[in-house]
């Protein structure tokens, strides 16, 4: 045993002199007496609940067609949850469909699907048979927009205000003409009537102008309630309702994207109040009021920018943790001239992003002022490849970067090269809070904008998005504070994560590559169960020991954590090399079949590990 290692070490060294890259023999003697590590089956169970294009939804009478059944739409994005303990249930789940398609039964545009779940034996979730107040019977129900408030399109994010049991859906895809809502069939002018908004009632607008409002829906009846004409029409991605049940923050996916606040006059009544837009450099106040006038509200972005609002680069989802609001700013590399001539001011978070980029590019800190950095951003000199997560503090009304996306560099490696694949957070998009006990964690979900520019560890590989959690009490988290919980199917976006209770979260895998195995070749909603009220990071067991070569089993994500950045190879039971990893600190073995494997360091030390 000792001899074998020695030999390998010598040949390794000899090679190192000629070539610094550590070689790993293709085959090795499998008779190793090495320390064994068990990789138990994950305590987290994954269960598919709702598959787009496969499961049937119950529809209402629409476009002259009778109520009936149709295959569910796909492109699952946001998930809303409303607690409902009747019949032993957990509550109602409602899923956004981010598409714009023609559908005789469900209705044109995007849409939502609602269903009720309960927990059964062995923590298995069950979609319950239900009869709705309109007589529809089944498991999955189409949320009726056509016959209530008018169609929606590309339903992306939303608001799931769990503390008040209310849900809104959003449409980031800002429409600018009737032809742009094709293939929706109804393009007749839309007359707003009978709403809670006096300023809107009786007004006739173009059909496309009735898209892109936040819409409140009722999952229990499978119906839309109202378009929130008082919050403004924009490329909304998502929002949050604060604990006071009065304050709503809204985030716009656009370049420029704006950050909006609504304050209700009366708690719980969101039909009356004031709408503001954020201006971080405002002198007396940081909020510019937008009057409750339909024409103004219909072009709130343009009005806000003209009045000097703060301009962001694609705001996505938000969540509240420890009383602060966290928002993803997903980034866009081809900003072009999108900020120019709008009148707004560049967000301080983009200034921080530019400085970060500058330092990575030039090896030294940016020497100019913030105003100069903002000008660089405005002049299209900041390729915002990877985005970031923002933190807004309602107490001070300041916004800052919480964590930068991007594998720019890692000082711990030679040449400052990025470490793959663990140090890698690109284009954060979905965002939600997981609360365990009194502690808040952020669930950050990626949606890659591109494969190029180091966004993916394997340049030409398919996009693979990941869901990370981070302890929100860490003021300035590093990449090493992020823990991966799940990765999507290839080419899919991972989105919609929402906590149901102390045991379970629900997640969507959206628009996967068609080559994925069934049912992962469809958009789907799945549950991850097994957190069991414990600290999700320690469920993952992420301790680091100061040994030269050791691995830490990670039952949750089935990761091997190495004690330092290094090269390693994995061998199967027959001693055949099956994987080689270079410059890694974490190896994801979730895809490996159960069995015995060996892991070997560059120095020839080996450990045996068993995937159960």
Partner 1 sequence: MKKVASITILVLSVFILSTAFKNNQKGNAELIYERQQERLKEFLGEVQYFGQFLHDDNITADILQSRFLRIRAKYKAWEYIASYDDPDFVKMSINGAPLPKITPNTANLEISQPRGLQVLDELLFSGDFEENLPDIRKQTSLLSKVLDEYTVIRRPIYDRVVLEAMRVELVSIFTLGLTGFDVPASGNSIQDAITALETMRSDLGLYSKFFKGVDATQAELMYATFDSFIEYLKQHDDFDSLDRLFVLRTYINPLFASIYYLHKASGIEMLHEVVNEASLLPYNHESTNLFANDFLNYRKYIQLPERFATDKTIALGKYLFYDPILSSNLQRSCASCHHPEKAFTDGKPKSIALGFDGTVDRNAPTLINCVYSEKFFHDMRAEALEDQIEHVLVSRKEFDTDMIKIEEKLRKSSEYTKMFEECFEGYKGEKINGKTISFAISAYVSSLRGFNSKFDKYVRGELNSIEPEVQRGFNLFMGKAVCGTCHFAPTFNGTVPPLYRESESEVLGVPKDPYATTPVLDNDRGRAVGRSKERVYFFEYSFKTPTIRNVALTAPYMHNGAYKTLDDVVDFYNNGGGAGIDIIIEHQTLPFDSLSLNKQEVKDIVSFMNALTDTTGMTSKPERLPVFTNNEDWNNRKVGGAY
Residues contributing to the site for partner 1 (CB under 8 A): 16-21, 23-26, 154, 172-173, 180, 182-183, 357, 360-361, 383, 408-409, 415-418, 449-454, 458-462, 490, 514-519, 521, 569, 577-583, 591
Q: Helix (H, G, I), strand (E, B), or coil: what is residue 357?
A: helix
Residue 538 CB, nearest approach to partner 1 (Å): 28
Residue 146 CB, nearest approach to partner 1 (Å): 20
- Which lies closer to partner 1 via its Cβ, residue 17 or residue 574? 17
Residue 318's nearest CA partner among 220, 225, 399, 210 is 399
Residue 361 CB, nearest approach to partner 1 (Å): 4
Interacting residues of 339 by C-beta distance below 8 A, sequence separation 6+: 255, 256, 311, 346, 377, 378
- Which lies closer to partner 1 via its Cβ, residue 75 or residue 145? 75
Q: Helix (H, G, I), strand (E, B), or coil: what is residue 161?
A: strand
- Which lies closer to partner 1 via its Cβ, residue 26 or residue 371? 26
> Which structure tokens are listed for 222?
């499978």
Cα gap 164→401, rounded to integer Å: 29
Residue 150 CB, nearest approach to partner 1 (Å): 20
Cα of 475 vs its chain's centroid, Å? 21
- Which lies closer to partner 1 via its Cβ, residue 98 or residue 440? 98
- Which lies closer to partner 1 via its Cβ, residue 163 or residue 361? 361
Residue 11 CB, nearest approach to partner 1 (Å): 11
Residue 333 CB, nearest approach to partner 1 (Å): 9
CA torsion, ordered 423, 427, 429, 434, to nearest 10 deg? 10
Cα gap 314→294, rounded to integer Å: 24
Interacting residues of 156 by C-beta distance below 8 A, sequence separation 6+: 77, 78, 96, 98, 170, 171, 172, 173, 237, 238, 253
First-to-final CA distance of the chain: 26
Cα gap 186→209, rounded to integer Å: 12
SS (H, E, C) 98-158: EEEECCCCCCCEEEEEEEEEEECHHHCEEECCEECCCCCEECCEECECCCCCCCCCCEEEE
Instruction: Identify the helix (H) or strand (E) that includes residue 159.
Output: strand 155-161
Residue 106 CB, nearest approach to partner 1 (Å): 17
Residue 279, phi then psi, degrees to nearest 5: -135, 105
Residue 579 CB, nearest approach to partner 1 (Å): 5
Residue 459 CB, nearest approach to partner 1 (Å): 5
- Which lies closer to partner 1 via its Cβ, residue 274 or residue 579? 579
- Which lies closer to partner 1 via its Cβ, residue 161 or residue 351? 351
- Which lies closer to partner 1 via its Cβ, residue 40 or residue 459? 459
Cβ distance 52 to 74 under 8 Å?
yes
Residue 35 CB, nearest approach to partner 1 (Å): 24
Residue 3's nearest CA partner among 607, 609, 604 is 604
Strand bridging mode 35-39 / 606-611: parallel
- Which lies closer to partner 1 via its Cβ, residue 31 or residue 460? 460
Residue 381 CB, nearest approach to partner 1 (Å): 8
> Which structure tokens are listed for 557?
């994500």
- Which lies closer to partner 1 via its Cβ, residue 100 or residue 288? 100
Residue 432's nearest CA partner among 443, 416, 423, 441 is 443
- Which lies closer to partner 1 via its Cβ, residue 519 or residue 553? 519
Cα gap 376→267, rounded to integer Å: 43
Handedness of CA 374, 379, 380, 381 (dihedral sign): negative
- Which lies closer to partner 1 via its Cβ, residue 174 or residue 270? 174
Residue 239 CB, nearest approach to partner 1 (Å): 19
Cβ distance 409 to 418 under 8 Å?
yes
The alpha-carbon radius of gyration of the chain (Å, integer) is 26
> Which structure tokens are listed for 149?
């408030």
Handedness of CA 41, 46, 47, 53 (dihedral sign): negative
- Which lies closer to partner 1 via its Cβ, residue 278 or residue 358? 358
Residue 576 CB, nearest approach to partner 1 (Å): 10
């Amino acid at each position: 045993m000792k001899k074998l290692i020695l030999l390998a070490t010598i040949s390794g060294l000899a090679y190192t002199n000629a070539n610094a890259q550590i070689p790993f023999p293709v085959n090795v003697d499998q008779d190793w007496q090495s320390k064994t590590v068990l990789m138990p089956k994950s305590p987290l169970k994954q269960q598919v609940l709702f598959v787009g294009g496969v499961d049937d939804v119950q529809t209402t009478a629409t476009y002259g067609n009778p109520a009936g059944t149709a295959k569910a739409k796909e492109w699952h994005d946001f998930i809303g949850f409303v607690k409902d303990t009747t019949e032993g249930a957990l509550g109602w789940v409602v899923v956004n469909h981010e598409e714009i398609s023609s559908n005789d039964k469900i209705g044109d545009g995007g849409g939502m699907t609602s269903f009720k779940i309960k927990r059964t034996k062995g923590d298995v979730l069950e979609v319950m048979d239900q009869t709705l107040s309109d007589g529809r019977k089944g498991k999955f129900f189409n949320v009726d927009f056509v016959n209530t408030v008018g169609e929606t399109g590309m339903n992306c994010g939303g608001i799931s205000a769990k503390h008040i049991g209310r849900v809104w859906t959003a449409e980031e895809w800002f429409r600018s003409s009737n032809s742009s809502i094709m293939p929706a069939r109804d393009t007749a002018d839309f007359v707003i009537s009978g709403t809670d908004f006096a300023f809107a009632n009786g007004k006739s607008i173009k059909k496309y102008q009735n898209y892109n409002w936040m819409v409140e829906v009722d999952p229990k009846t499978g119906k839309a309630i109202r378009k929130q004409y008082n919050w403004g029409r924009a490329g909304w991605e998502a929002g949050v309702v604060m604990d006071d049940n009065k304050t709503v923050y809204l985030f716009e996916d656009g370049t420029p994207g704006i950050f909006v606040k609504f304050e209700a006059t009366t708690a719980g009544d969101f039909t009356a109040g004031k709408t503001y837009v954020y201006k971080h450099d405002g002198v007396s106040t940081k909020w510019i009021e937008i009057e409750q006038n339909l024409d103004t509200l219909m072009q709130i972005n343009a009005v806000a920018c003209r009045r000097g609002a703060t301009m962001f680069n694609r705001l996505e989802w938000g969540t509240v943790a420890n009383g602060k609001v966290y928002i993803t700013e997903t980034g866009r590399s081809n900003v072009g001239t999108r900020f120019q001539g709008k009148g707004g001011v560049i967000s301080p978070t983009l200034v921080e992003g530019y400085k970060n980029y500058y330092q990575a590019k030039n090896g030294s800190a940016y020497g100019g002022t913030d105003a100069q950095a903002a000008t660089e951003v405005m002049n299209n000199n900041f390729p915002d490849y990877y985005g970031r997560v923002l933190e807004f503090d309602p107490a001070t009304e300041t916004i800052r970067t919480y964590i930068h996306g991007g594998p720019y560099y890692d000082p711990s490696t030679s040449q400052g090269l990025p470490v793959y694949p663990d140090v890698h957070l690109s284009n954060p998009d979905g965002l939600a809070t997981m609360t365990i006990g009194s502690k808040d964690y952020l669930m950050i979900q990626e949606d890659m904008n591109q494969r190029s520019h180091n966004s993916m560890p394997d340049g030409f590989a398919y996009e693979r998005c990941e869901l990370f959690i981070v302890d929100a009490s860490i003021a300035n988290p590093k990449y090493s504070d992020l823990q991966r919980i799940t990765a999507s199917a290839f080419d899919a976006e991972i989105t919609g994560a929402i906590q149901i209770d102390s045991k379970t979260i629900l997640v969507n895998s959206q628009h996967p590559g068609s080559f994925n195995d069934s049912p992962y070749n469809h958009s789907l909603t799945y549950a991850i169960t097994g957190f069991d009220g414990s600290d999700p990071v320690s469920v993952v067991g992420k301790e680091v020991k100061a040994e030269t070569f050791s691995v830490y089993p990670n039952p949750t994500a089935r990761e091997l954590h190495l004690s330092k950045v290094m090269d390693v190879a994995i061998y199967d039971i027959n001693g055949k090399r099956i994987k080689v990893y270079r410059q890694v600190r974490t190896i994801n073995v979730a895809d490996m079949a159960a069995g015995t494997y060996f892991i070997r360091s560059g120095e020839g030390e080996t450990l045996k590990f068993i995937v159960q």
